[in-house]
Amino acid sequence: MEWNKKIKEGLQDYEAAPPEQSWDAISKELNKNQENTIPIRSNYATAVSWIRYAAAAIVIGFIVMVSFNKPFQNSIKDTLQGPGTKAAVVESKLAISNDSLPLKDSSKKQFPN
Amino acid sequence: MQKMLYEKFSAKMYGICLRYAHHPEDAKDILQDGFMKVFGNLSKFKGSGSFEGWMRRIFVNTAIEHYRKKNNTYEIQEAHEEGVTNKDLTAFDKLAADDIVKLISELPNGYRTVFNLFAIEGFSHKEIAAMLKISEGTSKSQFARSKAWLQEKIKNHEKHAHGME
């Protein structure tokens, strides 16, 4: 079977120049396939879109809560205009007025000659 | 990257296509289908063997599929090995590779595929039988017949060449 070995060696790496138009046909087919496939999104792009959806959902949820929930509205009002704030304003006014009172002789006592 | 692969391997792969095809036009179709398969399955190449060997297998399988599809029924008929003389194709030595490929492409479809798979690709008759869904005996007899056919053709080729001189 010497011929078998020879033919195998001779033809296994046999090369022939392909027709010139064959690459054009292949690239045309490749382009056609690429047009039909949905582009694969990168992980980063997917994460960004999920973050956007999450942020939009939080904003919409907050708006819905404020619009339809009376106790929630009241609690916000109380927080903004409630007694706590008023008291703080009154206290700060008193503090200002106290600070503006004329000093007594204490200064003399504190800083003797 | 795809064009680079095509430029590097197209000549070798077209050589394979020519051996399995009956006409250069069929070889061109096999080449195109084969490269489409290679590009579509690049991610499946594990890197365990050589890339060229992987491509080669794809092209051989594409050629077999091509003829199955085209002829609808594969042209190999079940036959027995008896009565087929086992000839040695020593006359091949005198021919150039291009002439041998031309002679192989002229073989009838069934003979050609078995001859290519056994003599050049190096598959065993058992493997060929599984690939072509035929019996091992049929693969052996088809190979023996293909050799007898080629021997006859080479004789005619030589006669023709001497007649020209």
> What's the confidence (pLDDT) of residue A97?
67
Contacts of B35 in chain A (CB under 8 A): 26
* Mean pLDDT over the full length of chain B: 83
Mean pLDDT to the nearest integer, B2-29: 90
Cα three-residue angle A24-A29-A35, rounded to 5 degrees: 125
Instruction: Give CA torsion, residues B124, B127, B132, B134, to 10 deg.
Output: 80
Lowest mean pLDDT among A8-22, A81-95, B93-107, B115-129: A81-95
Picking from B35, B41, B57 by the largest number of A CB atoms within 10 A of its own CB, the best residue to mutate is B35
Q: Determine the Cα–Cα distance for residues A29 and A77; give it in Å rounded to an integer.
A: 66
> What's the confidence (pLDDT) of residue A112?
57
Radius of gyration of chain B (CA): 17
Tens digit of pLDDT for each residue in B38-58? 999 888 888 788 899 999 999
What three-state secondary structure class fits B124?
coil
C-alpha count within 13 angstroms, C-beta hemisphere, residue B114? 29
Residue A91 has pLDDT above 80, yes or no: no
A56 or A1: which carries more pLDDT confidence?
Answer: A56
Contacts of B88 in chain A (CB under 8 A): 1-3
Residue A88 has pLDDT above 90, yes or no: no
Q: What is the DSSP letter of A13?
A: T
Q: Name the percent of chain B lying above pLDDT 90.
A: 36
Mean pLDDT to the nearest integer, B62-81: 65
Residue B4 has pLDDT above 70, yes or no: yes
> What's the confidence (pLDDT) of residue B56?
92
Residue-range domains of chain B with CATH? 2-71 (1.10.1740.10), 90-164 (1.10.10.10)
Picking from A8, A21, A22 by the largest number of B CB atoms within 10 A of its own CB, the best residue to mutate is A22
- The distance of B164 to chain A (nearest Cα, Å) reads 26
What three-state secondary structure class fits A113?
coil
> What's the confidence (pLDDT) of residue B150?
87
Picking from B17, B19, B89 by the largest number of A CB atoms within 10 A of its own CB, the best residue to mutate is B89
Contacts of A2 in chain B (CB under 8 A): 88, 90
> What's the confidence (pLDDT) of residue A2?
72
Mean pLDDT to the nearest integer, A41-53: 83
Q: Determine the Cα–Cα distance for residues B151 and B156; give it in Å rounded to an integer.
A: 9
Kindly provide the ipTM of the predicted complex, given to two decimals.
Answer: 0.71
Q: How many CB pairs under 8 A join A and B?
A: 81
Burial environment of residue A46 by CB neighbours within 10 A (0 to 12, 13 to 18, 19 or more): exposed
* Mean pLDDT over the full length of chain A: 76
Mean pLDDT to the nearest integer, B57-86: 68
Contacts of A15 in chain B (CB under 8 A): 11-12, 14-15
Mean pLDDT to the nearest integer, A12-24: 87
CB B141 within 8 A of CB B115: no
Residue A93 has pLDDT above 80, yes or no: no
Paired tokens of B20: 């399995």
> What's the confidence (pLDDT) of residue B157?
72
